Amino acid sequence: MSENPKEIFLQIFDETNSSFLDMHLVQKNVERILSSLLPESLHSVDLDLLFVDDQAMKQINSERRSLEKTTDVLSFPLYQADLNIPHQHLGEVVISVDTLSRQAEEIGHSKIEELYRLLVHGILHLLGYEHETNEADAQRMRAKEDECLAMIFNS
């Protein structure tokens, strides 16, 4: 975890024009999350966020993972922790706003809560966290997700 200020270059692409997405707030919260997660050696990062509908997500999933279905969030990491360089592109997080909306309703919380749950999940994948390899990794990732979400919602 880092205490040094970081330069975070965030590009947000919203192909859905969803009314509940406050891009200024998304940027602020992503910067807070990344500032707490990035190692000391990393002084600046690039990150791309893309908000799409289910049709676009299915196409991305097909093209990049050969899976013919939509999903809630995809992460395409570029970050290499073993490189000791001060600037890196972390990668891309893609979120389906359609799936996000359905899941929020199914789970029984707000779209904003689901947005940040998916966003944190995607960012953690970019930084090397995994939940599908073993239970210890899954618990570690869930704990870090909870920590990041508390930073957003309990501040």
In tens, the pLDDT along 99-118 reads: 999 999 999 999 999 999 99
| β-sheet bridge partners, residue 89 | 46
Q: Is the pLDDT of residue 78 over 60?
A: yes
Residue 109 annotated in ligand binding = no
Q: Cβ distance 47 to 31 under 8 Å?
A: no
Residue 87 annotated in ligand binding = no
Q: Domain spanning 7-154 has what CATH number?
A: 3.40.390.30
Domain layout of the chain by residue ranges = 7-154
Burial class (CB in 10 A: 0-12, 13-18, 19+), 83: exposed
Residues 130-154: pLDDT tens digits? 988 899 989 999 999 999 999 999 9
In the chain, the amino acid numbered 133 is T
Residues 12-66: pLDDT tens digits? 999 998 888 999 999 999 999 999 999 888 889 999 999 999 999 999 999 999 9
